[in-house]
Amino acid sequence: MSLTAEQLFAVKGLVIIITGAASGLGLAISQTMAANGADVILVDRNEKELRRVSEEIIPGAEVAPVDVADSDAIRRIVDGVVARKGRLDVMFANAGISGGAGIRSPQGRIENVDLAAWSEVLAINQTGAFATLQAAARHMKAQRSGRIVVTASVGGLRGATATAYAYAAAKAAVVNLVRQAALELATFDVKVNAIAPGFFRTGLGGGRLLDETHTAPLEAIVPMRRLGMPHEIAGVSLLLASPAASYITGSIFTVDGGITAA
């Protein structure tokens, strides 16, 4: 069967939920899906920014101000979308927080890791990712179709002095969570994959990745010698939501300027 590029990467009319949609990579993914005709539902715990996005950036987009650490709330959002629209085609489980200083900073070293902060990172980046995946999978198994795309990180694939312990642990867990879910859901025609970004210029980490004094050492370890821009996540996100990825599941797509190749 011969398909055009437009047919291969078509997401028009698909019902797509994106968590962590108010900023950074989640916003870039949301813009990409909406620009290509998808019916997007934007989820984020920052209600003010979420409303601004739906008014100024993606006019008319449906929004749901929810913290993914609240598993009951994320389940209600997903159940409500399916009840209203009849299905859920794609879930981007993207919400996450940075976890603070990496191990190259004194406050990020093992003896200084605060366990309350550790628990917060895992509640959002690991348990929140699972709760989001679980809520989507329930419906996708029943409808025998769907795509789940989880945002992992190169920090979950290799050690890095710029990465916090909790962030590294949570994202490593997400990588194998994706593989495990892909095995179970494959016979239901539900594909589960992950995008593992490197360093991107986003507001993650309190804006440190927008500060040149902080990013210069990071750029030095990236073979392309620069940080990624949010729009550079668009291609792989569109691929994984589209018919072009019909035989891809359990895969981790690195978008990192060559970090994992070094």
| Structural domains of the chain in order of their starting residue, each with its CATH number | 5-257 (3.40.50.720)
**Which amino acid, residue 97?**
I
Considering 92, 165, 167, 200, which one is annotated as catalytic?
167
| Mean pLDDT taken over the chain | 95
Q: Residue 205 has what pLDDT?
A: 57
Of the two residues 3 and 126, the one the predictor is more confident about is 126
Q: What would the pLDDT profile of 137-171 be if each residue is shown by its tens digit?
A: 999 999 999 999 999 999 999 998 889 999 999 99
**Active-site residue 247, yes or no?**
no
Element (H, E) at 61: none
Non-local CB neighbours of 246 within 8 Å, separated by 6+ positions: 191
Q: What would the pLDDT profile of 33-76 be if each residue is shown by its tens digit?
A: 999 999 999 999 999 999 999 999 999 999 999 999 999 999 99
Task: Indicate yes or no: pTM above 0.85.
Answer: yes
Q: Residue 100 has what pLDDT?
A: 86
CA 11/CA 238 separation, integer angstroms: 8
Concatenated DSSP letters for 44-105?
ES-HHHHHHIIIIISTT-EEEE--TT-HHHHHHHHHHHHHHHS---EEEE------S--TTS
Candidates 70, 194, 63, 83; CA nearest to 138 is 83
